């Protein structure tokens, strides 16, 4: 772990007050209101969450206990029964929202579809009935490997409806990565599509599923349900593979939502950690439903007139919480877009905002940096005046990128919510409430009501104002991950043991460094572990190293992140070769492709350096800190006395 020392404390003096017109109509209207909520939640968290759960969600049966906290294991709303698909769909059908647009979808080739709440409900019911027909039962796990089409959300809601857990695997992941996740989750069925549009090409999703399942590599999978999207010919294995459009003709249009226990598994989502293979982050039903509902309502200030657009893919937690569950639970109109900006369609986001009158827009700093580079003329060619709120997530946003977003996209009229959270937290944790909290460019500002955040040292002592430390959470919250799927020890080790409990109080370790300023605003500085962020996607350096080492030419590999203007970080690999192999440009190419095959294109190294040896400590640990400096082209500073062989470093310095 690296210590979160602040290399240069950013002096950010700019402060943007919530516009009065925004505050007046917002759910949370003032700083006083936020502070009251915060104080109330801090004083009596159980009452705070229980009151909201009663008011904001539908329960088939009320809970008997709000919170059971046996550190590090939390349970919320014990004994309560609900169904998140009921909360996202059925309960809106008895209101005027029945015929309101739930999903507006814009396809990459320019096709589009709108589903009202009533129509979405019917689609989900049919999908759920097909899953049942194919033998999926309550408690089973279903893999979802889909493009950004309505059926991705429909499949998730259908699983939730019948009490099957989903594990969505991002469509950009390789067949190998898919196979590992399906095996870890013991998936019984896979939902996929013939293909999906990514930029200007078709991603052959079904072909990847075939590869992942070849030779009985995932013995638990019995059926594959295929949605037709791109229409190229694909192989269909008799008995195993089924077309969604065929199956749906023989099922009923209604499927009652299964009353689920509040703590029943809702989904598993894999994310990278500092060691080993990706972790299956476990989220359960009641707490997750409540927390994503409340954060959507208060952070995005969702109103019935809004057209809400989050540009994430449903394969990430952002898509789960803020495309599907949070917004639909609030009865919002959600825009879903299959495409992505690129050279041939650089202005497509602005085109979509204008076309549909998007009012709330939520994207990532890496996208914003790319837009800045593409030039102001693109957004300026479109009418963006429908926008009233902007959001960002995924990595720290540079103040200058924030300012550009504010000026050029928001027309200096829209508040920006810089939302800090993680796959593990399930929902947004540190964020402005846009009608209440003044923003500072680059700061995620203050914790959401009910979230006890702090910045501490490794003994759990709070650090001084403006001093760097580890960002921790000191009280369980409803959408907290419950465990790592099948590995409670890893859950303990990864999140609860870096910092020991102090006076019986446990600290959830986020893996991020942060400081808190004199106004109580949080400035997240990035990961303190061996996790890097490439275009906002979280990658464990260890996973990429394992992928490299699985190539026959590679003896040893060390991977670090190098700061990159557009992507945030770029993957840089240092590799030592087996005796039988020798460095060449062709081998660099081959190794890059090998990583793509093993993990996916997001993990492709930008640079690979060959070396006779890697810098190690006397105890054999690779000194990544030195490699990080080398990769960044910086002087290697700090202590190098623990190096086993100094000449290794000198040699590397010459070569890089």
Per CB under 6 A, residues contacting ligand WT7 are: 271, 317-318, 393-396, 418-423, 444, 510-512, 524, 526-527, 538
CA 643 to chain centre: 37
Angle at 624 between CA 622 and CA 626, to 5 degrees: 110
145: nearest Cα among 313, 356, 311, 354: 313
The three-state secondary structure class of 114 is: strand
Q: Which is nearer to ligand WT7, 354 or 529 (CB)?
A: 529
What is the bridge-based pairing of β-strands 522-527 and 531-534?
unpaired
SS3 of 594-624: the string is HHHHHCEHHHCCCEEEECCCCCEECCCCECH
Smallest distance, ligand WT7 to C-beta of residue 271, A: 5
Smallest distance, ligand WT7 to C-beta of residue 444, A: 5
State residue 455 phi and psi, 5-degree precision: -120, 120
Question: How would you class 7 by CB atoms within 10 Å of its CB: exposed for 0-12, middle for 13-18, buried for 19 or more?
Answer: exposed
Q: Which is nearer to ligand WT7, 72 or 396 (CB)?
A: 396
Q: Which is nearer to ligand WT7, 444 or 587 (CB)?
A: 444
Distance (Å, rounded) from C-alpha 108 to C-alpha 110?
5
574: nearest Cα among 651, 486, 497, 514: 651
Smallest distance, ligand WT7 to C-beta of residue 536, A: 6
**How many of the other CB atoms lie within 10 Å of CB of 32?**
9
469: nearest Cα among 502, 507, 519: 507
Q: Which is nearer to ligand WT7, 287 or 394 (CB)?
A: 394
Q: Are 184 and 221 in contact (CB under 8 A)?
A: no
Q: Which is nearer to ligand WT7, 420 or 507 (CB)?
A: 420
Q: Which is nearer to ligand WT7, 147 or 526 (CB)?
A: 526
Q: Which is nearer to ligand WT7, 271 or 329 (CB)?
A: 271
329: nearest Cα among 609, 91, 6: 91
Q: Which is nearer to ligand WT7, 67 or 414 (CB)?
A: 414
CA 157 to chain centre: 18
Alpha-carbon distance values, 35 to 2, 30, 146, 434 (Å): 34, 9, 42, 14
**How many of the other CB atoms lie within 10 Å of CB of 150?**
22
Distance (Å, rounded) from C-alpha 636 to C-alpha 615?
12
Q: Which is nearer to ligand WT7, 48 or 420 (CB)?
A: 420
The three-state secondary structure class of 629 is: helix
Smallest distance, ligand WT7 to C-beta of residue 540, A: 11
272: nearest Cα among 545, 499, 576: 545
Q: Which is nearer to ligand WT7, 429 or 548 (CB)?
A: 429
């Amino acid at each position: 772990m690296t210590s979160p020392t602040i290399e240069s404390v950013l002096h950010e003096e700019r402060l943007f007050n919530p516009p009065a017109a925004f505050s007046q109509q917002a759910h949370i209207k003032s700083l006083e209101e936020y502070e009251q909520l915060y104080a109330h939640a801090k004083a009596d968290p159980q009452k705070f969450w229980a009151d909201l759960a009663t008011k904001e969600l539908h329960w088939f049966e009320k809970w008997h206990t709000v919170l059971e906290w046996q550190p590090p294991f939390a349970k919320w709303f014990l004994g309560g029964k609900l169904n998140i698909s009921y909360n996202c769909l059925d309960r809106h059908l008895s209101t005027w929202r029945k015929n309101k647009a739930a999903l507006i979808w814009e396809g990459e080739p320019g096709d589009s579809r709108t589903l009202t709440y009533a129509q979405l409900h019917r689609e989900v019911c049919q999908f759920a009935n097909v899953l049942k027909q194919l033998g999926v039962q309550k408690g089973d796990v279903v893999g979802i490997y889909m493009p950004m089409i309505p059926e991705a959300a429909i499949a998730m809601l259908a699983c939730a409806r019948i009490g099957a857990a989903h594990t969505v695997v991002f469509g950009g992941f390789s067949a190998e990565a898919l196979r590992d996740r399906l095996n870890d989750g013991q998936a019984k069925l896979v939902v996929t599509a013939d293909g999906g549009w990514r930029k200007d090409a078709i991603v052959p999703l079904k072909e990847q599923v075939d590869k992942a399942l070849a030779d009985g590599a995932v013995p638990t999978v019995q059926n594959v349900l295929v949605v037709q999207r791109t229409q190229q010919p694909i192989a269909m294995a008799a008995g195993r593979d089924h077309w969604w459009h065929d199956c749906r003709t023989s099922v009923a249009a209604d499927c009652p939502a299964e009353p689920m226990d509040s703590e029943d598994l809702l989904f598993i989502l894999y994310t990278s950690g500092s060691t080993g293979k990706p972790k299956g982050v476990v989220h359960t039903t009641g707490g997750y439903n409540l927390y994503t509902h409340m954060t959507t309502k208060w952070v995005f200030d969702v109103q019935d007139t809004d057209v809400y657009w989050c540009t994430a893919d449903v394969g990430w937690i952002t898509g789960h919480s803020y495309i599907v569950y949070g917004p639909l639970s609030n009865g919002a109109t959600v825009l879903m877009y299959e495409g992505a900006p690129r050279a041939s369609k650089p202005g497509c986001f602005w085109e979509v905002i204008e076309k549909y009158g998007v009012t709330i827009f939520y994207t990532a700093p890496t996208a914003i940096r790319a837009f800045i580079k593409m030039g102001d003329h693109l957004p300026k060619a479109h009418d963006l005046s429908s926008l009233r709120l902007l959001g960002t997530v995924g990595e720290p946003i540079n103040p200058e990128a924030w300012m550009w977003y504010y000026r050029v996209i928001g027309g200096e009229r829209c508040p920006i919510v810089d939302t800090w959270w993680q796959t593990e937290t399930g929902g947004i944790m540190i964020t402005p409430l846009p009608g209440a909290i003044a923003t500072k460019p680059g700061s995620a500002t203050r914790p959401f009501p009910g979230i006890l955040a702090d910045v501490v040292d490794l003994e759990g002592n709070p650090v001084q104002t403006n001093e760097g430390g580890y960002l921790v959470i000191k009280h369980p919250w409803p959408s907290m991950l419950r465990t790592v799927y099948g590995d409670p020890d890893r859950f303990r080790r990864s999140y609860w043991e870096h910092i020991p409990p102090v006076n019986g109080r446990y600290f959830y370790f986020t893996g991020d460094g942060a400081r808190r300023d004199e106004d109580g605003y949080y400035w997240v500085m990035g990961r303190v572990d061996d996790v890097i962020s490439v275009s906002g996607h979280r990658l464990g350096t260890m996973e990429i190293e394992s992928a490299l080492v699985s190539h026959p030419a590679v003896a040893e590999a060390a991977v670090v992140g190098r700061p990159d203007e557009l992507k945030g970080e770029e993957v840089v690999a240092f590799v030592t070769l087996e005796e039988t192999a020798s460095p060449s440009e062709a081998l660099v190419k081959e190794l890059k492709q090998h990583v793509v095959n093993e993990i996916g294109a997001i993990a492709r190294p930008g640079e690979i350096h060959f070396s006779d040896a890697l810098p190690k400590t006397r105890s054999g640990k690779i000194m990544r800190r030195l490699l990080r400096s080398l990769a960044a082209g910086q002087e290697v500073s700090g202590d190098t006395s623990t190096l086993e062989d100094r000449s290794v470093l000198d040699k590397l310095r010459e070569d890089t």
